[in-house]
Structure 1
Amino acid sequence: MLIHATVTITGASEEREACEADLRRVLADELRRSDVTEHHGKDALCYDLKVEGGIPFPLFAEASEEYPELEFAIDWVNVAAGERGTARFIAGRLAAQTTERIGAVSATSHPVYVAVAKDGTLTLGLTLERVGSNEWRGYGVTATRDTLLRVRHDPASNAVELHVTDGAPEWAAAWTGRFPGRRLVPERLKNPIAIEDRIYQELERVARDFAGAWIWFANAAEQEIAIERERYASYGYKTSDANVRSARLHTMRLNAGEGKPLEHSTFLAEDSWLKDLVLATWARNE
């Protein structure tokens, strides 16, 4: 059973340099049959592992004990078992650990779609909740902006209405017409449509939940995103105003395979046109 893991080691540069030398020897001896890739940055060591049978926690626990000033953070995913988790070692001790079912997370949350360009730029992050037989509301984010959304669909004529916000609790712009079909043109509403407070608060909660699970923002406190920046640098990716969390990005990279598009979707097949609509309109209209 193949497990994919990312190990990030942070701390003083002198300690990291010594640890790197020791780990190179140990990993070569202990994991010679595994796939180990190094992506080190200026402020962190980063190892991508593909290992059979289980994560070598004892190996990193021993290294952590030898270098107590360093922090070892491990993110792992076992696709076959439907599990993922994290672990953090400091001074040889397990400081924190989480495990969760991949399927359970998807089943209890709104469907999501995330697409990332080859250079790491977030093309679109989207989550939508069905609120009627032919109506959805949710949240969308690209590398440079975000919005709340409402989609209405008439199955008989294939006509759609997409409304988005622009910072205020009101629908400020719209795309209307048949989809798929000719390109839809945005319309800035002369009289924006106010969003009922109850609905707006629910949409804000959906946005916070999605961002908390998937997105890190460049304007966050530097100590909160330093590791994210390091991991992006190790991948050779650019950073933007909004970016996919590196643990999620790591899983997307592993699942996609070499040179494949980085996409993740839990939308049902019959609802996949919704992400196509947003990609063709709001996300395209940068």
Structure 2
Amino acid sequence: MFTAVVRITGAGRLADFRERLRWLLVRDPDAEDYSEHHEGAALEYRFRPKKGIPFPALTEASGNFPELRVEAQWEHDGVRGRAVIENGRLVEEERGEPAAAGVEIVAGDEGRLDLALICERQDAGWLGYAATAERHTYFRYRDGALELVDPSAADDALEEIAFRLVDEWIWYDEEEAQTERARYAQYGYPVRGANLKSEKLALLRRRGERYSTLDPAAGEVREALIAQWLNRA
């Protein structure tokens, strides 16, 4: 899977940058679908590309707005990377080793999301995100200690990890999601706050309502999260 997040920040003309990038992408025959998000003094673009991140358009737009910083982070088949563009030039680039990340998904009666968990190693610890049908949390784990992070206090690294889990597995009641709602009605399942995507429900049925790709080393993280968060609802 290929996922990417591009953030535009700086004390500059974000609205003008947005229009310029949109103009460039509309005219790019290789451009792919993306979603656009506004977070205070920042723009964020999320991609699930098949061909690649549109770096030529991002670089050209950056050259028109030298006061802004363009930062791209991606994961492609488990390998993570990062690039920063300023004033139309690549100023930073990192390509990492395959990420030690995994997920665990547990479904309950009537397709209820009992647990969705993503956990990724960082340095000597772990970062992650967990959700149920009713609530969610970010977390850090290091030296045997679990730190729960309120969603309002999550940093970019935590949000990027959560985005990867949600983008693949979850849809929310606040979304229009007509196809998902129709399938849930067909199954006779109620729609809750957070819901498993219908295509994933079929996978879970084949696997006995549980799916896990967690690294064995993440087992203690999972146990701490269950004891200190999931079972304390």
Closer/same/farther in 2, CA of residues 109 and 91 from structure 1, 3 Å limit: closer
Closer/same/farther in 2, CA of residues 264 and 38 from structure 1, 3 Å limit: farther
CA deviations on 1:261-281 (whole Å, 9 max, x unpaired) are: 9x9963329x74x45542343
Shift of 1:142: 0.9
Q: Which amino acid letter does the alignment assign opposite residue 53 of structure 1?
A: K
**Which position in structure 1 is the counterpart of 2:4?**
5
Unmatched runs of 5 consecutive residues or more in structure 1: 128-136, 145-237
**Which position in structure 2 is the counterpart of 1:268?**
216
| 3-state SS in 1 of match to 2:61 | helix
Closer/same/farther in 2, CA of residues 126 and 242 from structure 1, 3 Å limit: same
CA contact (8 A) 1:114 1:264 kept: no
Whole-angstrom distance in 2 between the partners of 1:245 and 1:62: 29
Q: How does 1:133-144 map to 2 (within 5 A)?
A: 138-143=144-149
TM value normalised by structure 2? 0.60
Does 2:60 align with 1:62?
Answer: yes
Q: Which amino acid letter does the alignment assign opposite residue 86 of structure 2?
A: I
CA deviations on 1:103-158 (whole Å, 9 max, x unpaired) are: 5787996685733337984254445xxxxxxxxx62211126xxxxxxxxxxxxxx
Unmatched runs of 5 consecutive residues or more in structure 2: 102-119, 172-194, 198-210
CA contact (8 A) 1:87 1:94 kept: yes
Does 2:83 align with 1:90?
Answer: no
Shift of 1:11: 2.1
Root-mean-square deviation over aligned CA pairs: 3.8
| 3-state SS in 2 of match to 1:65 | helix
Does 2:98 align with 1:102?
Answer: yes
Give the structure with higher Rg (CA): 1
Shift of 1:23: 1.3
**Which position in structure 1 is the counterpart of 2:35?**
37
CA contact (8 A) 1:5 1:75 kept: yes
Q: How does 1:1-286 map to 2 (within 5 A)?
A: 3-13=2-12, 15-30=13-28, 34-79=32-77, 82-103=78-99, 112=126, 114-117=128-131, 121-122=136-137, 124-126=139-141, 138-143=144-149, 238-240=151-153, 245-256=158-169, 258=171, 259-260=195-196, 266-268=214-216, 272=219, 274-275=220-221, 277-283=223-229, 284-285=231-232
CA contact (8 A) 1:121 1:143 kept: no
Q: Which amino acid letter does the alignment assign opposite residue 148 of structure 2?
A: T
TM value normalised by structure 1? 0.50
Q: Which amino acid letter does the alignment assign opposite residue 69 of structure 2?
A: E
Q: Which amino acid letter does the alignment assign opposite residue 3 of structure 2?
A: H
| 3-state SS in 2 of match to 1:25 | helix
CA contact (8 A) 2:25 2:31 kept: no
Closer/same/farther in 2, CA of residues 120 and 265 from structure 1, 3 Å limit: farther
**Which position in structure 2 is the counterpart of 1:195?**
none
Closer/same/farther in 2, CA of residues 264 and 125 from structure 1, 3 Å limit: farther
CA contact (8 A) 1:19 1:67 kept: yes
CA contact (8 A) 2:7 2:70 kept: yes
State the aligned residue count.
Answer: 177
Q: Which amino acid letter does the alignment assign opposite residue 116 of structure 1?
A: A
Shift of 1:7: 1.0
CA contact (8 A) 2:7 2:44 kept: yes
| Identical residues among aligned pairs (%) | 23
Whole-angstrom distance in 2 between the partners of 1:266 and 1:69: 41
Name which of structure 1's ranges 245-254 and 115-124 shifts more when overlaid on structure 2.
115-124
Closer/same/farther in 2, CA of residues 31 and 265 from structure 1, 3 Å limit: farther
CA deviations on 1:200-237 (whole Å, 9 max, x unpaired) are: xxxxxxxxxxxxxxxxxxxxxxxxxxxxxxxxxxxxxx
